[in-house]
């Protein structure tokens, strides 16, 4: 909501939305797309782009240490070529689903940009 200008990060509704995501969709270091059972049962794997979107929300709220910690964890889950799949098994770290997943890779790039220092304050 913040990234597209729907709500500012200091709008209480934005913080409440992040809190709802933390309560309902976050499991450990990962955010699930949904947690309700579907035709395949309860989801076992987290949808990586949701975790990257959560990192963006944390950064917008000024929770940079949390955001950076989650980002660094995700970096350790890439394969030897630095690529990510669509989902991840939170218990084993094994990648699942479509591979290579553009959503995950764009999330990684956008999070790296979001968490980087601005050039004018880096030196």
How much is the pLDDT for 62?
94
Separation of alpha carbons 49 and 101, rounded Å: 9
Kindly report, residue by residue over 52-72, the tens digit of the pLDDT. 999 999 999 999 999 999 999
Confidence of residue 119 (pLDDT cuts 50, 70, 90): confident
How much is the pLDDT for 102?
80
Which residue did the predictor score with more confidence, 57 or 122?
Answer: 57
Residues contacting 73, CB < 8 A, separation 6+: 29
* Residue 37 pLDDT > 90: no
Residue 96 belongs to what H/E stretch?
strand 95-96
How much is the pLDDT for 34?
83
* Residue 80 pLDDT > 80: yes
* Residue 25 pLDDT > 90: yes
How much is the pLDDT for 100?
79
Q: CA angle 117-121-59, nearest 5°?
A: 35
Kindly report, residue by residue over 92-115, the tens digit of the pLDDT. 988 888 787 888 888 999 999 999
Best CA proximity match to 104, nearest among 33, 36, 7, 37: 33
Separation of alpha carbons 66 and 106, rounded Å: 20
In the chain, what are the domain boundaries? 12-116
How much is the pLDDT for 89?
93
For 81, which DSSP code?
T
User: What token pair was written down for 92?
Assistant: 């084993």
């Amino acid at each position: 909501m913040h990234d597209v200008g729907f709500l500012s990060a200091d709008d209480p509704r934005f913080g409440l939305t992040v809190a709802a995501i933390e309560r309902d969709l976050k499991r450990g270091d990962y955010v699930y797309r949904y947690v309700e059972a579907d035709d395949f049962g309860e989801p076992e794997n987290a949808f990586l782009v949701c975790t990257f979107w959560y990192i963006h929300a944390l950064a917008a709220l000024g929770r940079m240490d949390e955001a950076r910690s989650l980002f660094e964890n995700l970096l350790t889950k890439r394969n030897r070529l630095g690529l990510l799949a669509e989902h991840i098994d939170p218990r084993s770290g094994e990648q699942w689903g479509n591979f290579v997943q553009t959503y995950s890779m764009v999330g990684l790039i956008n999070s790296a940009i979001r968490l980087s220092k601005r050039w004018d304050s880096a030196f």
